[in-house]
Amino acid sequence: MGVAAAARAADKEVVAVCGRLVLPPEVLGRAGIRRAYALTDLEPDVSACIADAGPLLERTAERIARDFLS
């Protein structure tokens, strides 16, 4: 949330990447986070997320690029 606050003060948008997302969109929006991507959206098993974080982060980066470049 601190990064989002600093970005908001600098008039910059924030995209968050996390392991598991439990905050609703309205809370994220109030914090200044435009969009959040959870690794558990791709792999629901948290243990598997931890074990395969690298490939999941690459897939998440591809999703972010598609979402913001299209």
Q: What is the pLDDT of residue 2?
A: 84
- Report how far residue 63's alpha carbon sits from residue 21's, in angstroms, rounded to the nearest whole number: 16
DSSP-derived letter for residue 42 is: T
Q: What are the tens digits of pLDDT across the range 2-40?
A: 888 888 889 888 999 999 999 999 999 888 898 999 999
- Cβ–Cβ < 8 Å for 32, 4: yes
Query: Which region, left, alpha or beta, applies to residue 51 given φ > 0 means left and ψ of -120 to 50 means alpha?
Result: alpha
Distances (CA, A) of 24 to 16, 19, 29, 49: 13, 15, 9, 21
- Cβ–Cβ < 8 Å for 22, 4: no
Give the structural domain span for 20.
2-69
The count of domains in the chain is 1
